Amino acid sequence: MMGSLRERTDEIGIFRSIGFRRSHIMRIVFLEAGIISSLAGVIGYGLGLGCAQAALSFLTENHGGGVPFDPRIALGSLALALVLGLAASAYPAAMAARLDPNEALRTL
């Protein structure tokens, strides 16, 4: 997130210069982090389930077993991904919100 926000310094400066408040900038950053984190949680659970199924078929002699879909674990992985993603983006969001529009627009 920090790298992404450093690349978009001019966009954040434009937002701040047209009247976006610090809270608006933080909401934008947290929304982006939430979307990315939730996609990562869903994809991670799906890949983990698929890899566990593949490993089970290689490691067992009878190929009748399977890995069941557990909604509690799926929701737990999604919640953990969201919490970690939002916590990791708190500092970059605060830095982006404190950005001075004049400093950001000097790079243009």
Q: How confident is the model at residue 63 (pLDDT cuts 50, 70, 90)?
A: low
Percent of residues, the chain, with pLDDT higher than 70: 96
Is 11 inside a domain boundary?
yes
Percent of residues, the chain, with pLDDT higher than 90: 50
Interatomic CA distance for residues 60 and 79, integer angstroms: 32
Q: What is the pLDDT of residue 56?
A: 86
Give CA 71 to chain center in angstroms: 21
Task: Give the residue with greater pLDDT, 61 vs 22.
Answer: 22
- Region of poorest pLDDT, from 25-29, 67-71, 77-81: 67-71
Structural domain of residue 18, as residue ranges? 2-102
Is 79 inside a domain boundary?
yes
Is 108 inside a domain boundary?
no
Interatomic CA distance for residues 77 and 11, integer angstroms: 33
Is 107 inside a domain boundary?
no
The domain tally of the chain equals 1
Is 90 inside a domain boundary?
yes
Is 57 inside a domain boundary?
yes
**What's the mean pLDDT when you consider all of the chain?**
89
pLDDT at residue 14 tops 80: yes
Average pLDDT over residues 5-21: 88
pTM here? 0.82
pLDDT at residue 31 tops 90: yes
Is 9 inside a domain boundary?
yes
DSSP states of 4-54:
HHHHTHHHHHHHHHTT--HHHHHHHHHHHHHHHHHHHHHHHHHHHHHHHHH
Interatomic CA distance for residues 88 and 16, integer angstroms: 23
Is 71 inside a domain boundary?
yes
